[in-house]
Amino acid sequence: MIVKQREIPLVILKLEALLRRLPPHHPKIPLIKEEISKRKAGFKGETSLDFPLGFLNDKLYYILHDLRLPDENRYFQIDTLILSLKFALILEVKNISGILHFDTIYNQLFRNKDGEESVFPCPIVQVNRQENQLKKWFADNDFGQLPIFSKVVITNPHTGIKSIPPNVNLNQKVIHKEVLPSKIIQIETNISENQISEKQLKKSIRLLKRASVKSGSSILDRFQINKEDLATGVFCPN
């Protein structure tokens, strides 16, 4: 059951509004367009999870999309969190094409596409950090001893996944979206008893929804654009 719906990220709406308000030849427009393209690709990948998640039992699993929770003087973001009476599962969604090589020694992600190689921060490090942050958040909010797991979900079915050096356990952390339901059932099967009560679970869901906040960061500051550069007033429809 989806208890927190996914919405178009506020940052995409801000970027699109910024683009509409800049003069046609502003030097920052190419950077803004590139950022919009990346953000929309990521959001498209997140929405593509709806199909495999639709195979889960509504009575067993509660799904919260797009959480942004406080962690002392900062925040941490979770694409999708699945809760049950037995466990919590963090999903970090990546919509990346090409051949992905996970360097498990130096904790880097290499992407080979069309003969070009790119380097990204390792999402495994990211979800492991999210596990620790969520564990602390659970403890601070009297969440009980609910086990926390995490997966990096690759949404493009044509994306290859490899490990440097070969790591037989990589498939327990990095998966294609098509196998997500079976991995969730596997976790469920391996835990014999409920870890929290139904009452605790529903209280926790209310707390998570109440604590989640949207980012209030300034798009103008990010791209170092002066407010005077923006076109003001109402656009004429004609």
* pLDDT tens digits for range 133-189: 999 999 888 877 899 999 999 999 999 999 888 877 888 899 999 999 999 999 999
Which long-range contacts link 175-178 to residues 24+ away (Cβ below 8 Å)?
175/151, 177/48, 177/49, 177/51, 177/52, 177/153, 178/52
* Residues paired with residue 151 on neighbouring β-strands, in sequence order: 91
pTM of whole model > 0.95? no
pLDDT > 70 in the chain, percent: 100
Number of H helices, E strands in the chain: 7, 10
Q: Identify the pLDDT of residue 73.
A: 84
pLDDT > 90 in the chain, percent: 79
**Half-sphere exposure at residue 191, Cβ-oriented, CA atoms within 13 angstroms:** 18
Compute how many other C-beta atoms are within 10 angstroms of the C-beta atom of residue 64. Answer: 20
For residues 107-121, give the mean pLDDT: 92
Q: Identify the pLDDT of residue 169.
A: 83
Please check the confidence at residue 82 and state whether its pLDDT lies above 90.
yes
Phi, psi of 128 (to 5 degrees): -65, -40
> In this predicted model, which residue has the larger pLDDT, 200 or 90?
90
Please check the confidence at residue 105 and state whether its pLDDT lies above 90.
no
- Cα dihedral sign, 75-80-82-83: positive
For residues 95-105, give the mean pLDDT: 92
- Rounded Cα gap, residues 226 and 210, in angstroms: 34
- Rounded Cα gap, residues 233 and 147, in angstroms: 52
Compute how many other C-beta atoms are within 10 angstroms of the C-beta atom of residue 140. Answer: 11
Please check the confidence at residue 45 and state whether its pLDDT lies above 90.
yes
Per DSSP, the three-state class of 113 is: strand
DSSP state of 133: H
- Rounded Cα gap, residues 208 and 173, in angstroms: 24
Question: Helix crossing, 10-21 with 29-47: angle to 10°?
Answer: 150
Strand order in the sheet with 108-113: 116-121, 108-113, 99-103, 160-164
Rg (CA), the chain: 20
Residue type, 237: P
Please check the confidence at residue 191 and state whether its pLDDT lies above 90.
yes
For residues 42-48, give the mean pLDDT: 94
Strand order in the sheet with 88-94: 2-4, 62-71, 74-83, 88-94, 148-154, 174-176
Mean pLDDT computed over every residue of the chain: 92
CA-to-CA separations, 14 to 11, 35, 75, 147, 212, in angstroms, rounded: 5, 11, 20, 36, 19
Q: Identify the pLDDT of residue 22.
A: 94
Q: Identify the pLDDT of residue 62.
A: 97
**CA-based nearest residue to 70, from 210, 179, 228:** 210
For residues 220-233, give the mean pLDDT: 92
